[in-house]
Structure 1
Amino acid sequence: MTRSFKLLASAAAMIATSAFSLNIAAADKVRQLEVVATLSAETPPGNIAVGSDGRIFLSIHQFYGKSLRIVELLPDGTTKPYPNENWAYAAQSRESGGLYGVLGLNIDANGILWLLDTSGPDHAGRLVGWNTKKEQLHKIIYLAKPVITDSSFLNDLAVDSKNNAIYIADTGTASIVVVDLKTGIARRVLKESMSTKAEDIDMVIDEQTIYLNGQPVRMGVNPITIDSNFEYVYYGSMSGTSLYRIATKDLLDKTLTDQALDKKVQRYGDKPISDGITMDNSGNVYVTSITSDAIGYTQANGQYKTLVQRDDVSWPDGLAVGLDNYIYGTVNELHRSPVLNNGKDGTQGEFKVVRFKALSDANTGR
């Protein structure tokens, strides 16, 4: 996260941001939010994955400096290191076990939990696949230079089970990395696309502009998901007001130049400054609003509607679909973390996993 960010937002962009001061009264379908688990300061959650068997897995957000990387959330609301003591904690060296830093995680229909282990100056990034049914390592795919750069921040991922691929949001370089799960070959795409770049807008939470490395936050592509038919990948920049989509067949087409691929991108609709995103089996696209303590969805007509909004939903982060027709999410107060709060931990004990009923009446189960 060493990218240089622009210092000031333009007045026009700030006006655009104010359009996303979401009003709960505007939501056409309000959902009751339930707290699934309240988490301790030792397990500030990042993203969330829910398996077809109902098991819930959480990444531990690295902005809080914890050595624990992954936990399983148990039915009684407690957590345990996952998958085991050797893998669940920070790697001490390239020769040791463990993980360097995981935010993105997702579980496929075969029960493979894919962990996106970030790259660093002395190590490559990795996709670590863990078989949650057999409780054993499935596969490791290394993500190294030149595809991964010194500026890379491997943030989130979408798993394409139909085409045996994974699509990674590299926030640091504002581009998408396409990984072939059969060969392990990775390609960087859309690196010059406006759809993956940060807009020049401030992130304002609790009437305070959020800074990173002394500059107002400007974050590129982060929220990324895929529909249940594996036809389209939906994504957008964290610091952005547009949600885009692109067909998987185009992302997988190696003959397309970056310019030709960029022409395949469609603007799907509006979104707020956001972190998490997911889709149910009926095609509803759920997106968090980190500046409004809210979670909503982008309708097919392009309009964004709020579904839940509460003062204690401080930085809604990851989203995932559960078997029980619920949308699950994490809350982690990230704007109060040392990285985004001048080196100080200003959290107020609002680490939690929440859920609400999906808009679809059908059982989701993806």
Structure 2
Amino acid sequence: MCLPVLPLEKYFGQLELVYEFYGAMPTGLTVSETGRIFVCFPKWGDDVPYTVAELVDDRLQAYPNIEVNLDGQGDMAASFISVQSVVADGLGTLWVLDTASPNFSPPKIGGAKLVAVDLEMNTISKVYTFAEDVVLPTTYLNDVRFDFRVGKAGFAYITDSASEGPGAIIVVDLDSGAAFRRLNGAPSTTPDPYFLPKVEGKVLMNRREDGSTSPLSMSADGIAISPDGKKLFYCPLTSRHLYSISTKALRDRTIPDEELSYHVEYWGEKGASDGMITDAKGAIYAGDYENNSIRKIEPDGRIVTIAHDPRILWADTLSIGPDQYLYVIVNQLHRQARFHYGRDLRQKPYSLLRIRVDELPAPAS
């Protein structure tokens, strides 16, 4: 008997494989203005020999060297502990965001930091550490964006994606090093209490080895900045909503934090996203981890799905290279043991994919 061929879901988008990861699970990714590719590996339970690496000649190597990646081998401010995000600013610097929070433990005092690495010399040029009223015991430093057109040395904007404490945008004056929390616990940086994520057809929630369960709850995570630096876009991880705010308002400390939410603009639903990135024309690219997709959000708010592929098993960080490709880390984050009663369902390799978008990244200067 000949069985009928039934219709199948349609997949699309010309994705190319750049690299396969057979070791630790990667999260952060960035492509420099010269095409160098950097990746980071936070310490979430895998064997992590180095938490920041460069992809050189199709091989990973510790960056800027193995010594800096040896946690606990000296000054915590001068060594990488557990890095969540790496961002090349297009001006010769790699910025490294160190959570100092292995396995989501409270951040190590003096270890949570933003580090500038000179890409020509391959050496650390500056380190920004944070006071205890900025990096709280619940803080998880997630991602960062820059604007060097304001202030004496520019400003950085960091998402705090705390799962048990308040989410926030942390603003850093790169000249003085002063940092402060904004939108602390505001509705726009807080997980959507009505959101129930579904990935690969199943509800995603914390499922512990002892059989107990709880909803997945992660605050402000994805972040992107407009090409002129005037608007910051962000989203909680457990939400489908997109928000923006004037960076001028974020920096203006005369606006009380309880009034700052009045400056927030709501852009509607864009899908549930992890990382985001902006191109030079102001379009935002974001993953949709519920639908194995990558979305493009035009400046007027229109949304186009540019890739829908079964290989996009949790699009984590995105970066646009000088070759006008969008690069994306796919890491099966939702298959980790903490979501499946202690059973690790991830299948190696994790992947670095890319898709042609014919646009350059938004400039930071």
Range of TM-score over shorter length: 0.7 to 0.9
**C-alpha contact (below 8 Å) 1:72/1:79 kept by paired residues:** yes
Could you tell me the TM-score, scaled by structure 1's length? 0.86
Structure 1 residues 146 and 365, CA gap change in structure 2 (3 angstroms): closer
- Tell me the C-alpha RMSD between the 2 structures: 2.1
Structure 1 residues 356 and 211, CA gap change in structure 2 (3 angstroms): same
**C-alpha contact (below 8 Å) 1:270/1:303 kept by paired residues:** no
Alignment partner of 1:239 is 2:226: no
**Matched residue type, 1:170:** D
**C-alpha contact (below 8 Å) 1:319/1:330 kept by paired residues:** yes
Of 141, 150, 169, the match for 1:154: 141
SS of 1:335's equivalent in the other structure is: helix
**Matched residue type, 1:88:** N
Give the equivalent residue in structure 1 for 2:205.
Answer: 211
Of 167, 170, 173, the match for 1:180: 173
1:85-234 alignment runs, 5 A limit? 85-91=66-72, 94=75, 98-119=79-100, 120=106, 122-124=108-110, 125-163=112-150, 164-172=154-162, 173-200=166-193, 201-212=195-206, 214-234=213-233
Distance 2:352 2:252 in 1: 38
**Matched residue type, 1:337:** Q
Distance 2:62 2:344 in 1: 23
**C-alpha contact (below 8 Å) 1:36/1:352 kept by paired residues:** yes
**Matched residue type, 2:54:** E
Distance 1:134 1:69 in 2: 20
Give the equivalent residue in structure 2 for 1:35.
Answer: 17
The count of corresponding residues between Structure 1 and Structure 2 is: 336
Provide Cα deviations, 1:175-224, integer angstroms capped at 9, x if missing partner: 11101111111100101321111112122112222223631212111001
SS of 1:330's equivalent in the other structure is: strand
**C-alpha contact (below 8 Å) 2:282/2:362 kept by paired residues:** no
Question: Cα distance, 1:257 vs. partner?
Answer: 0.8
**Matched residue type, 1:180:** D
SS of 1:62's equivalent in the other structure is: coil
Question: Cα distance, 1:281 vs. partner?
Answer: 0.3
**C-alpha contact (below 8 Å) 1:204/1:291 kept by paired residues:** yes
**Matched residue type, 2:155:** A
Give the equivalent residue in structure 1 for 2:33.
Answer: 52
**Matched residue type, 1:50:** V
SS of 1:339's equivalent in the other structure is: helix
SS of 1:46's equivalent in the other structure is: coil
Q: Which runs of 5+ in 1 are unaligned?
A: 1-22
**C-alpha contact (below 8 Å) 2:278/2:362 kept by paired residues:** no
**Matched residue type, 2:109:** H
Provide Cα deviations, 1:62-115, integer angstroms capped at 9, x if missing partner: 3343332011112x4221111101113434565595312111221113221111
Distance 2:308 2:300 in 1: 22
Give the equivalent residue in structure 1 for 2:260.
Answer: 261
**Matched residue type, 1:203:** P
Question: Cα distance, 1:174 vs. partner?
Answer: 1.1
Question: Cα distance, 1:303 vs. partner?
Answer: 4.0
**Matched residue type, 1:240:** S
Distance 2:355 2:337 in 1: 30
Give the equivalent residue in structure 2 for 1:73.
Answer: 55
**Matched residue type, 1:47:** G
What percent of counterpart residues are identical?
A: 28
Give the equivalent residue in structure 1 for 2:103.
Answer: none
Structure 1 residues 144 and 24, CA gap change in structure 2 (3 angstroms): farther
Distance 2:329 2:297 in 1: 19
**C-alpha contact (below 8 Å) 1:226/1:233 kept by paired residues:** yes
SS of 1:116's equivalent in the other structure is: strand
Provide Cα deviations, 1:197-254, integer angstroms capped at 9, x if missing partner: 1112122112222223631212111001112221111101111121111121111112
Question: Cα distance, 1:283 vs. partner?
Answer: 0.8
SS of 2:322's equivalent in the other structure is: coil
Q: Which runs of 5+ in 2 are unaligned?
A: 1-8, 101-105
Could you tell me the TM-score, scaled by structure 2's length? 0.86
**C-alpha contact (below 8 Å) 2:279/2:359 kept by paired residues:** no
Give the equivalent residue in structure 1 for 2:5.
Answer: none
Distance 2:43 2:349 in 1: 17
Alignment partner of 1:321 is 2:320: yes
Distance 2:51 2:322 in 1: 25
